[in-house]
Structure 1
Amino acid sequence: MITYSDFAGWLNNNQGVLTLTIFLATIFLGWVSGIFTALRRKPKFSVRVIDGPTCACTFLTGRSKGQFEIHRTCIALYLSVSNVGSSPSSIESVSVGYHWNIKPLSLLWLKNSVGWFWLNGQAVALENFQSKIGDSIKIYPFLFQCSGLGLNKTETYLDIGQSTNGVIYFEQPDSWGGCFPKAKNGQVMVKVKLSDTFGKTHTKKFKVPMVSLECARKYNPSFGKTLSALDSAELSLDRF
């Protein structure tokens, strides 16, 4: 049986070993705790849509492909993004997805009606999104694009607890058939996918109003005109 005096004597004879062991254990525990602390420090973006220019619109172009009339879909989202995580980060990109308005019993239905059809590339809005309030005009900020008034784009680097808001705008190329958002009671279910600089994605589903082109252009007179303007510019360049 080991007595207290024996244990005390062993400690006195092995102080160097104990000191080294405690030192190494302290370094190891600090290293492990540092790793776990770093792993816990992640950005987390909370996304919501704000009323106003938030809407979806599908309109005919006046052209056709075979027996189908060609249409285009445009989606504008006035987003508010908050960093509720434990690490700062920047908003790298935003995509929006929706379900096609097609009937069941087809592979396309499985892919884009059960799944999501994504618009990944944002279109450059030709004019500012705005609304008239009495005798004044309210200009909505863009999230990525610079304002036509020469104002800088919204800050997309978000520190912990910081938030920002701005409009993002998408135009879908020429489509036909059921390749447009499926609306129910005047609302379209969309899924917003936001990516940060660490490669992490943050998603949220929303219902946005499905409106006419006339209504959408009350917020932006050039709503739905970006791809047409680009097509015209390319045709002009081809003539030289």
Structure 2
Amino acid sequence: MLQPLTSEFGQHIALTITWLNDNQGLVSVVIFILTLFLGWASGIFSALRRKPKFIAELIPGPTFVCVFPTGEKSTGHDVHRIGFALYLSVANCGSSASSLHAVHVGYRWNVVPFSKSWFCNTLFRHWLQHRTASLSDFQVAIGESLNVYPFMFQRNSLSPVQQETYLQPGQSVVGVVYFEQSDSWGGCQPRVLNGQIRLSVRLLDVFGGRHTKSFWIPAVTLEEARRFNPSFGRTLAELHGKALPGEDA
């Protein structure tokens, strides 16, 4: 029983070899095309695997949120502003270089459950997408010395160093990112639990990639915030020409 099958298989092999010998030109062209295709496909897959991956970490320093009044009212509610300071370390743990394009912060509003605002900003985060220029450096006195914290994007007034936000794989950068939320009232502010709020930080690279991580950060008073920066919360006041309560215009 095995002998006829073996003989038939051998005939197929012989016919295949004969066909290949008679059509060497065509076979060479097919092999060439397949080689090009496989090379192109492997290049595409390799390029898809090569992506930046930014990871944010909070490091000891000026990281906090502060809700402070403006002295005005809107629809019977006291108007407030919110300042965020984040001292971040951003590392590129991916396989491709990229620049840190932007940093956004998001939080959930402290509003009445199941209201319209609750569905919009408690189930989903309220995002601040435009960082604010700080009027002065973040700093802290250590003995007789003054330690100045570098900004992530803007230049320090007390230091000429400009942070490099183009990151090769394995590189990192540290710096302060500062935000002031414009006039708000009511529950348009983070919910404070045990003196802290839950904040999401989103890093954007120049290729459009988003890298998000959440942290708990302390909520402090304006007086405490200004121990790190005497101009904390004053940027929008200067732009609007309206001083905060107890301050000169």
Alpha carbon RMSD of aligned pairs, Å?
1.6
**2:49 match:** 40
Superposed CA deviations along residues 114-142 of structure 1, whole A, max 9, x for unmatched, are: 21111111110000001111211111111
**1:149 match:** 158
**2:246 match:** none
Counterpart residue identity of residue 92, structure 2? N
Q: Which residue, out of 50, 58, 65, partners 1:56?
A: 65
Q: Which residue, out of 27, 32, 38, partners 2:36?
A: 27
Counterpart residue identity of residue 163, structure 1? S
Secondary structure of the structure 1 residue equivalent to 2:241: helix
Gaps of 5+ in 1: 234-240
Please state how far the C-alpha of 1:175 moved relative to its aligned partner.
1.2
Secondary structure of the structure 2 residue equivalent to 1:64: strand
Matched positions, count: 233
User: Would you say the 8 A contact 2:140–2:227 is kept in 1?
Assistant: yes
From the superposition, tell whether residues 67 and 3 of structure 1 become closer, same or farther in structure 2 (CA, over 3 Å).
closer
C-alpha separation in 2, matches of 1:45 and 1:24: 39
Q: Which residue, out of 186, 189, 193, partners 1:180?
A: 189
From the superposition, tell whether residues 125 and 3 of structure 1 become closer, same or farther in structure 2 (CA, over 3 Å).
closer
**1:210 match:** 219
Secondary structure of the structure 1 residue equivalent to 2:184: coil
From the superposition, tell whether residues 5 and 103 of structure 1 become closer, same or farther in structure 2 (CA, over 3 Å).
closer
Q: Which residue, out of 69, 89, 98, partners 1:89?
A: 98
**1:114 match:** 123
User: TM-score, length-normalised on structure 1?
Assistant: 0.92
Please state how far the C-alpha of 1:3 moved relative to its aligned partner.
6.5
Q: Which segment drifts farther, 105-114 or 181-190?
A: 105-114
C-alpha separation in 1, matches of 2:70 and 2:15: 95
Please state how far the C-alpha of 1:111 moved relative to its aligned partner.
1.1
Gaps of 5+ in 2: 1-7, 243-249
C-alpha separation in 2, matches of 1:165 and 1:60: 31
Counterpart residue identity of residue 184, structure 2? S
C-alpha separation in 1, matches of 2:81 and 2:13: 87
From the superposition, tell whether residues 19 and 106 of structure 1 become closer, same or farther in structure 2 (CA, over 3 Å).
same
C-alpha separation in 2, matches of 1:52 and 1:171: 18
C-alpha separation in 1, matches of 2:106 and 2:15: 74
* Residues 122-141 of structure 1: pairs in structure 2 closer than 5 A: 122-141=131-150
* Residues 1-12 of structure 1: pairs in structure 2 closer than 5 A: 1=8, 2=11, 6-12=15-21
Q: Which residue, out of 163, 173, 178, partners 1:169?
A: 178
User: TM-score, length-normalised on structure 2?
Assistant: 0.89
1:230 lines up with 2:243 in the alignment: no
C-alpha separation in 2, matches of 1:120 and 1:167: 15
Please state how far the C-alpha of 1:48 moved relative to its aligned partner.
1.1
Superposed CA deviations along residues 19-75 of structure 1, whole A, max 9, x for unmatched, are: 222111111111111111111111111111112100000011222224211111100
Counterpart residue identity of residue 210, structure 1? A
C-alpha separation in 2, matches of 1:113 and 1:26: 54
Q: Which segment drifts farther, 61-70 or 1-10?
A: 1-10
Larger radius of gyration: 2
